[in-house]
Structure 1
Amino acid sequence: MLAALRAAGASPEVIEAARPAGESQAQAFEIWPENWATFEAFLALGRCWTWVAPAMGDPVRVGIASAEIEATLRLLQVKRRARREMFMELRAMEQAAIEVFENKG
């Protein structure tokens, strides 16, 4: 919900009021302009993660299907010549996210 409020341009006060009690504020970070399009694509892929539910244990994210990435890049109208590089950047972000998910579990 907080991400949706941010995407809609809600004020910091509104976002803070919507934050669940006890949830700490995320650390701020900067995104370089040349990485902004890749960041937007990664956010667009937020609901495209593949989950695996082991017989014993909690479900885990294992990655984002290549077809999902390709379709998202097309829908975002990323130029053909830029897609390969952005695909590789998204895979790097995916791997970093998986490491974070594993450490939080």
Structure 2
Amino acid sequence: MEDQRVDDLVRQGMDPAEAQAWLDSQEMEPEPEELGAGDADDESDPCGPFVVWPENWQAVELFMRLQTKWQWRPDGRRDGICYLQAEAVMRLLKMKKQRRLFVQLQEMERAALEALDEQ
């Protein structure tokens, strides 16, 4: 499995040594049952550390830079990210593969809206 992940990163343009070093730095936290936690009702921290694959990092960065650019509906709920602002941020930061980034941004936006609606 580890070799496949290195190969995937190399196909994305990463140097093999850098890919292996990056994977080695991504230590996953043990599952609660591995820690001996007995209560299944304990909720883990939803804002705890998580892994972002290198090919997704630029989209995550774009999403985070747009956190103040949400459009709001009259009922006080978020409607979505202002796409004009997204385009401006991508252009100002000279981000490459903007169409791919825009699709990824929309996927994260949709997931965020679904999660916010559940609250």
| Structure whose alpha-carbon radius of gyration is higher | 2
1:71 to 88, 110, 114: 88
**What residue is the counterpart of 1:11 in the other structure?**
none
SS at match of 2:51: coil
Which digits, 9 at most, give the CA deviation of each residue in 1:58-92, with x for residues without a partner?
A: x100101221110111122112xx00010000000
Q: Distance in 1 between matches of 2:108 and 2:99?
A: 14
**What residue is the counterpart of 1:27 in the other structure?**
48
Alignment of 1:1-105 (within 5 A): 25=45, 26-54=47-75, 59-79=76-96, 82-104=97-119
Q: Which runs of 5+ in 1 are unaligned?
A: 1-23
TM-score, length-normalised on structure 2?
Answer: 0.59
4+ residue runs of structure 1 moved beyond 3 angstroms? none
Deviation for aligned residue 1:28: 2.2
> Contact 1:42/1:90 (CA < 8 Å) preserved in 2?
yes
Q: Which runs of 5+ in 2 are unaligned?
A: 1-43
Amino acid in structure 2 at the alignment position of 1:73: M
SS at match of 1:72: helix
TM-score, length-normalised on structure 1?
Answer: 0.66
SS at match of 1:27: coil
SS at match of 1:77: coil
Deviation for aligned residue 1:27: 2.9
SS at match of 1:69: helix
